[in-house]
Amino acid sequence: MPFVRIDLSKKHPTDFAQQVGNIVYGAMREHINVPEDDKFQVITRHDSNELVIPKSYLGIEYSEDIIFIQVTLNAGRTTEMKKVFYKAICDGIVERLKVRPQDIFINLVEVNKENWSFGNGEMQYAPKD
């Protein structure tokens, strides 16, 4: 049930953005136990002035090719699973799309299961009474 937001520059073609989404989905399926068809993504392409980044942070230098990936998902994955997940996304984007690894920014937002409604105004994962 992850919800993925991908933000990147408009200088990248539309199909590039879709490929990033597919790489993220593949890593979710393979490394953090996301079921088939659980693919909810919003991909937004921005003008260069709409992506605000420092020249560097924590010794990592960024470029205008930066890709922001934010995944909201249920809490409970181990630190090791998250590390493998980050690496799989980075490796996939670097290998297939030739982006510098320094320009792949990933953020996880963990929530409780009751924080989701997949439609009909219902809490599909409501706690059992």
Determine the Cα–Cα distance for residues 7 and 70; give it in Å rounded to an integer. 9
Residue 10: count other Cβ atoms within 10 Å of its Cβ: 14
Cα–Cα distance list, 68 to 23, 45, 54, 122 (Å): 14, 11, 13, 30
Q: What are phi and psi of 22, to 5 degrees?
A: -65, -35
Length of the chain in terms of residues written: 129
**From the candidates 2, 13, 35, 101, which is the catalytic residue?**
2
Alpha helices in the chain (DSSP H): 14-31, 79-97
2 catalytic per annotation? yes
Where on the phi/psi map is residue 64: left (φ > 0), alpha (ψ -120 to 50), or beta? alpha
Q: Active-site residues: which are they?
A: 2
